Amino acid sequence: MTERTPLHAEHVADGAKMVDFHGWDMPLHYGSQVEEHHAVRRGAGMFDVSHMTVVDVTGEGATAWLRWLLANDVAKLKAPGRALYTAMLDAEGGILDDLIVYRRDGGWRLVVNSATRQDDLAWLETQRRKGVTVKERPELAMIAVQGPAALERSAAWLGSAAEAVAELKPFGFVEDGDRFIARTGYTGEDGFEAILPGDCAAAAWRALRDADIAAAGLGARDTLRLEAGLNLYGQDMDRSVTPLESNLAWSVAFKPPERDFIGRAALERQREEGVPRVLVGLKLQARGVLRRGQRVLYDGQPVGELTSGAFSPTLGVGIGLARIDAGIDASELEVDIRGKSLPVARLKPPFVKRGEAA
């Protein structure tokens, strides 16, 4: 039986097409995935992301433990109210999951993926050190409000916190009573993600909807994140690849050199030996749609495959992320689509930035 978020009844009432998403009954769309995509790019849309796993980490040893557990360095966060993106790695540098870690007064908050929830919780418990407390927060809900008009249209719901949220830089957050509001997201647009008690989520959803913020489902979330060049765990990265092979070297903190973290030795070896594969952006130069699993060709020979692909509603062309052999000539790539070799342009993601071609 699939699990349901506190907003399930709202989705059904709004006519959402519900699907099983990693064991959760989630909205795919509310009638038109493309319209929901455009609503976020041009105005404001909101997503139920309550299936994400929220974990609070406290204790005297929490900071030192997180510096060892995560590839990025939480010591960069000098004061509460800031967050960073990072990954948990295994000893070989393989990506167990990607996540955001927030520094709070007296502790830390992690938000990890729903698809890896059980494995992540087991890993955290296995690696946990004395003096560290790890607590999952399943009673919380999470709503992401995204788009150029997200803050303006959310002002009434944000209330007294509206000015403080507007002044936040990306990856900043404020805590307003029992609401945790962060300037983060998965669309490449402005906006915020709010973590709040599950029993308050439905009222918040209705208030935001009444403020002309469109409900958006998993379908639009995927095309938006792909246009923004953001990786999806389980497709563009997993335990079989390292951050260096996933366009995520920027999320690994090798300085200071004395900080050890799980997977560091393996990543340093890979840096010295050279990365065998790279994750690149591809834009189709002909009519068609790029899809996960399609082969990337160079001089007629396979050199990699699409990890994600879709038709971009903003650009009107097929786009995708592909992992290919390092050192391949970028000017002569093709993709095999149903037996036809079609040309693609290689580019560095993102494809779209703030609603325009990057």
Radius of gyration for the alpha carbons in the chain, expressed in angstroms and rounded: 20
Please report, for residues 46, 122, 133, 176, 342, the alpha-carbon distance to residue 127 in angstroms, rounded to integers and kept in the order given. Answer: 35, 9, 12, 32, 47
pLDDT at 290: 98
Comma-separated ranges of CATH 3.30.70.1400 domains in the chain: 54-136
Cβ-contact 27, 104 below 8 angstroms: no
Which one-letter amino acid corresponds to residue 189? E
Cβ-proximal residues to 316 (8 Å cutoff; 6+ apart), any chain: none
pLDDT at 157: 98
Under CATH, which architecture does the 276-357 domain have?
A: Beta Barrel (2.40)
Comma-separated ranges of CATH 2.40.30.110 domains in the chain: 276-357
Q: Topology of 8-49+138-227 in CATH?
A: Gyrase A; domain 2 (3.30.1360)
Output the DSSP codes for 14-26. Answer: TT-EEEEETTEEE
Residue 290: both structure tokens together: 């790029």
pLDDT at 358: 82
Please report, for residues 67, 132, 229, the alpha-carbon distance to residue 61 in angstroms, rounded to integers and kept in the order given. Answer: 10, 5, 35
Q: Topology of 54-136 in CATH?
A: Alpha-Beta Plaits (3.30.70)
How many whole angstroms from its chain centre is CA 303? 27
Instruction: Record the pTM.
Output: 0.97
Place of tokens 């918040």: 204
Provide the CB-side half-sphere exposure for 147 (13 A, CA): 25
Q: Give pLDDT tens digits along the chain (358 positions).
A: 799 999 999 999 999 999 999 999 999 999 999 999 999 999 999 999 999 999 999 999 999 999 999 999 999 999 999 999 999 999 999 999 999 999 999 999 999 999 999 999 999 999 999 999 999 999 999 999 999 999 999 999 999 999 999 999 999 999 999 999 999 999 999 999 999 999 999 999 999 999 999 999 999 999 999 999 999 999 999 999 999 999 999 999 999 999 999 999 999 999 999 999 999 999 999 999 999 999 999 999 999 999 999 999 999 999 999 999 999 877 789 999 999 999 999 999 999 998 888 8
Closest-CA residue to 76 (of 94, 99, 51, 101): 101
pLDDT at 152: 98
Closest-CA residue to 308 (of 354, 356, 351, 342): 351
How many whole angstroms from its chain centre is CA 142? 14
DSSP state of 172: B
- Rounded Cα distance between 172 and 76, Å, is 13
